[in-house]
Amino acid sequence: MPSEENPFIPGKPASATPEFEEPQCPQGPLGSKPDQSGPRPTTPTGADSADGQTEQAQQGEYHTTAQGGRLPDTNHSLKAGARGPVLLQDHHLREKITHFDHERIPERVVHARGAAAHGTFVSYGTASTVTKAGFLQPEAETEVFTRFSTVVGSRGSPDVARDTRGFATKFYTSEGVFDLVGNNFPVFFIQDAMKFPDIVHAAKPHPDREIPQAQSAHDTFWDFVSLHTEATHHTMWQMSDRAIPRSLRMMEGFGVNTFRLENAAGETSLVKFHWKPENGVHSLLWEEAQLTNGFDPDFHRRDLADAIEAGAYPRWELGLQVMPDSEDETFEGIDLLDPTKLIPEELAPVTSVGMLTLDRNPENYFAETEQVAFHPGHLVPGIDVTNDPLLQGRLFSYLDTQMTRLGGPNFSELPINRPRCPVNDMFRDGMHQTAVHQGVAPYKPNSLDGGNPFSSKGEHALIDVPQPVAESVKERRASASFDDHFSQARLFWLSLTGIERQHLAEAFIFELGKCYEETIRQREVKNLAAIDRGLCETVAEGLGLDVPQTTEQPAADVTASPALSQISGRWPVAGRKVGLVASANTPIEQITVVRKAVGDVGMVPLLIAPRGGRLGEGNTAVAVERTYSTMRSVEFDAVVLAGGIETSTAIDVLISEAWRHLKPIATCDDAEHLLEEPGIGLDDPGIFCGGGPEEVTKQLIAALAEHRTWARAEM
Ligand code: HDD
């Protein structure tokens, strides 16, 4: 057969003409610019994008080998004839495939799934009385990078799993990098880092089948937490609505461990860090979360990036709870070194010390979000650690883990990790060393490099707080004050509203209901008796278990902390999404009016129609953004039904789910009839009918400020 003839497509040559003809650059002398009329990358990307350095990873217009040789073709391997074997000498083929084969690095052992953004931290100066840290002094402005994460799932797991969220911020301060590596819960599962591998082994998928992914609803997790009662308080948070945030923009953050701050006069205090979101703290409902994981596994990541791109920059105030640095390191009887305990805000108010604004999405996920390396030991003068045994173990783990994850000790040279102040560390060589160090004497003292670099004893030196260490003996034992595992779990329970408690009890029933072993369920239900009899009875009933006969009594003298409830107040609505359902029969003015009212308050209207294309004619036509097959209620915070829509299953599902998930719904014109089939009353809370499109949309927006129509939950 002649080699030009394609055996499967008569009349076509063996190598079919590609549909896309790549524009060819005219040959030019080296260094000359090619014809730029063809398609070009929209953004020149490179190492400089992460930190403003000039070093480029991608230069020039020509496609080249890694050695810079210009390539004429990257679609065909070098063969002995068009149908012959591939030649070993094809360097471009081998280089391209070898590089690809090594593109992945190990994912984080925990917190593998994450999303991040760049921003700025502006200090109010209010912390200067307690710390000399430069970035917390009046008017200081610091570049930051924040990465949010789930803990248990792997890198490709869905975003809205029931889980703790990581909230880690890298401050590129003039005194060196400070990392605040926190979570969205103020407490942790365990009191000693020694148990961290154990809790993580228990929470990760079972080692035999590697299921379930990104979930705590399985036997090993509940086996561990029911046996380690110190995990009870954290488990209550994990079963609460806090574990399924509506958005990364709507989560609180906590440093969890207690830190020791030192001011310019050398005075110290014990401090807990808080992040308070400007958007308020809001959650999904459990059914909504489950649907979302299927409909859009990237829900949180998309929401964060979309909001930043739309200019609805998320903001958090950094706050401090400042406690005296007392000899016993307790406050109001609460041990400040026990990371399973929080300090109620009613006892130690949170003082705002600055504002974090995230205003720039990463340009390259791998270079920035994946390669960023946080460490609670990245400290600046004025912020020091305490003897919290969990924090002490963390100080070892984070550096160690980067050796495997980032392939050696030079990860701080990666653009995203580089300090934005001079670095002269005398570290040399090693895997992936990119610096060309000068001098011959990387040791101290030296005479050959003129004594460089010099030790710093001045103002900005990292001098450890000279904290006295108690005289003691070596022993593997926790302080007796760590023995109370239930009173703060009860405190959390008592602080929640009725609907929050109901969600929490339902979460226990769901999660324990997924366990195969009845002994585990029984053990956990018995633990609940020590928190609250009512909670224990509800969960036991839901699981079909007998209420345990136990002498364990809930702690009697616990006072609620209303600040822990997330249902109260009114919050900004910017960045929230409104589904606007319309059809070709809808008057275009209605669509325009609703879109404007929604857009005016910084929310995002998404036009839904039976099929794609545009609605309306000419200049006023509007593009359809979702069709009946590409939309689902979980994407929207509220729904507006325009006039001229026919009843359909898709619309029934949309409305029923929005109603069940306590979302405001507004109707224009004749759209009220759509509420009949799902059985929704026109007078139900959060249903806005009867006014003009602008009026009902404004009512809907006002309702959204409370996040959900909570009154409907009572029906
Ligand atoms: Fe951790 C990552 C937060 C206890 C060991 N941790 C990691 C991240 C966050 C936290 C937010 C992700 C950082 C990122 O986005 O890259 N971890 C916490 C908090 C804890 C905590 C708030 C308790 C107060 N962690 C903890 C202990 C250990 C670790 C007790 C081990 C002894 N954590 C790690 C780690 C990770 C990590 C294995 C995985 C990837 C990484 O560090 O860079 O070293």
Q: Is the CB of 257 inside a 6 Å radius of any atom of ligand 1?
A: yes
The best mutation among 145, 180, 181, 385 to test binding of ligand 1, ranked by most ligand atoms within 8 Å of the C-beta, falls on: 181
- What are the boundaries of each domain within the chain? 114-192+232-417, 482-564, 577-714
Q: Is the CB of 120 inside a 6 Å radius of any atom of ligand 1?
A: no
Distance between Cα 398 and ligand 1 center (Å): 7
Q: Per-residue b/e over 300-311, b at no fewer than 16 CB within 10 Å?
A: bbebbbebbeee
Distance between Cα 401 and ligand 1 center (Å): 10
pLDDT at 691: 87
Q: Is the CB of 259 inside a 6 Å radius of any atom of ligand 1?
A: no
Residue bearing the CA closest to ligand 1, atom 44: 398
Q: Is the CB of 256 inside a 6 Å radius of any atom of ligand 1?
A: yes
Distance between Cα 339 and ligand 1 center (Å): 14
Amino acid type, 386: T
Distance, CA of 18 to CA of 4 (rounded, Å): 15
Distance between Cα 136 and ligand 1 center (Å): 24
Which stretches of 171-298 are DSSP H helices? 196-203, 219-227, 232-239, 286-295
Distance, CA of 479 to CA of 502 (rounded, Å): 35
Distance, CA of 295 to CA of 626 (rounded, Å): 13
How far is residue 633 CA from its own chain's centroid?
Answer: 22
Q: Is the CB of 374 inside a 6 Å radius of any atom of ligand 1?
A: yes
Question: Which of 75, 76, 118, 183 does the annotation list as catalytic?
Answer: 183
Residue bearing the CA closest to ligand 1, atom 21: 394
Q: Is the CB of 482 inside a 6 Å radius of any atom of ligand 1?
A: no
Nearest to 309 by CA among 44, 572, 602: 602
pLDDT at 29: 52
Write the DSSP assignment of 602-665 as a string of letters: T-EEEEEESSSSEESSGGG-EE--EETTT--GGG-SEEEE-SSPPP-HHHHHHHHHHHHTT--E
Q: Which atom of ligand 1 is closest in space to residue 149's alpha carbon?
A: 15
The best mutation among 107, 109, 110 to test binding of ligand 1, ranked by most ligand atoms within 8 Å of the C-beta, falls on: 110
Q: Which residues pair with 115 in a beta bridge?
A: 148
Q: Is the CB of 108 inside a 6 Å radius of any atom of ligand 1?
A: yes
Domain 114-192+232-417 sits in CATH at: 2.40.180.10
Nearest to 610 by CA among 633, 631, 596: 631
Distance, CA of 670 to CA of 675 (rounded, Å): 11
| Assigned superfamily of 482-564 | Catalase, four-helical domain (1.20.1370.20)
For residue 389 the two structure tokens come to 């045994």
Q: Is 364 a catalytic residue?
A: no
Distance between Cα 680 and ligand 1 center (Å): 46
Q: Is the CB of 644 inside a 6 Å radius of any atom of ligand 1?
A: no
Residues 6+ apart with CB under 8 A from 669: 590, 642, 643, 644
Residue bearing the CA closest to ligand 1, atom 15: 147
ipTM of model = 0.99
Distance between Cα 126 and ligand 1 center (Å): 29
The best mutation among 183, 195, 237, 398 to test binding of ligand 1, ranked by most ligand atoms within 8 Å of the C-beta, falls on: 398
Distance, CA of 124 to CA of 139 (rounded, Å): 6
Question: Would you list which residues are annotated within the binding site?
Answer: 108, 147, 196, 394, 398, 405
Distance between Cα 486 and ligand 1 center (Å): 25
Query: Are 390 and 231 spatial neighbours (Cβ–Cβ below 8 Å)?
Result: no
Question: Would you list which residues are annotated within the binding site for heme?
Answer: 108, 147, 196, 394, 398, 405
Query: Are 186 and 203 spatial neighbours (Cβ–Cβ below 8 Å)?
Result: no
The best mutation among 105, 107, 111, 365 to test binding of ligand 1, ranked by most ligand atoms within 8 Å of the C-beta, falls on: 111
Residue bearing the CA closest to ligand 1, atom 22: 182
Distance between Cα 373 and ligand 1 center (Å): 10
pLDDT at 55: 53
Q: Is 183 a catalytic residue?
A: yes
Q: Which atom of ligand 1 is closest in space to residue 402's alpha carbon?
A: 43
Integer CA distances (angstroms), 83 to 8, 13, 89, in order: 15, 12, 17
Q: Is the CB of 536 inside a 6 Å radius of any atom of ligand 1?
A: no
Radius of gyration of the chain (CA): 29
Residues (pLDDT < 50) of the chain are 1-3, 6-10, 15-18, 31-54
Q: Is the CB of 146 inside a 6 Å radius of any atom of ligand 1?
A: no
Q: Is the CB of 166 inside a 6 Å radius of any atom of ligand 1?
A: yes
Q: Which atom of ligand 1 is closest in space to residue 255's alpha carbon?
A: 22
Q: Is the CB of 254 inside a 6 Å radius of any atom of ligand 1?
A: no
Residue bearing the CA closest to ligand 1, atom 29: 394
pLDDT at 50: 44
Distance between Cα 583 and ligand 1 center (Å): 49
pTM: 0.93
Q: Which atom of ligand 1 is closest in space to residue 114's alpha carbon?
A: 15
Q: Which atom of ligand 1 is closest in space to residue 166's alpha carbon?
A: 11
Q: Is the CB of 107 inside a 6 Å radius of any atom of ligand 1?
A: no
Q: Is the CB of 182 inside a 6 Å radius of any atom of ligand 1?
A: yes
**DSSP code for 347:** T
For residue 161 the two structure tokens come to 């799993």
- CATH assignment of 577-714, among 3.40.50.2300, 3.40.190.10, 2.20.28.120, 3.40.50.880: 3.40.50.880
pLDDT at 686: 97
Distance, CA of 704 to CA of 569 (rounded, Å): 11
Distance between Cα 254 and ligand 1 center (Å): 13
Residue-wise pLDDT tens digits, 514-531: 999 999 999 999 999 999
Q: Which atom of ligand 1 is closest in space to residue 183's alpha carbon?
A: 22
Q: Is the CB of 390 inside a 6 Å radius of any atom of ligand 1?
A: yes
Q: Is the CB of 244 inside a 6 Å radius of any atom of ligand 1?
A: no
Distance, CA of 511 to CA of 528 (rounded, Å): 14
Residue bearing the CA closest to ligand 1, atom 23: 188
Q: Is the CB of 196 inside a 6 Å radius of any atom of ligand 1?
A: yes
pLDDT at 24: 60
Tell me if the bond preceding 138 is cis, omega within 30° of 0: no
Question: Which of 63, 75, 102, 111 does the annotation list as catalytic?
Answer: 111
For residue 97 the two structure tokens come to 């495939």
Integer CA distances (angstroms), 587 to 293, 336, 593, 671, 691, in order: 35, 62, 10, 13, 16
Distance between Cα 123 and ligand 1 center (Å): 26
Integer CA distances (angstroms), 470 to 422, 466, 473, in order: 37, 13, 10
What is the Cβ-side half-sphere exposure of residue 152, based on CA atoms within 13 angstroms? 26
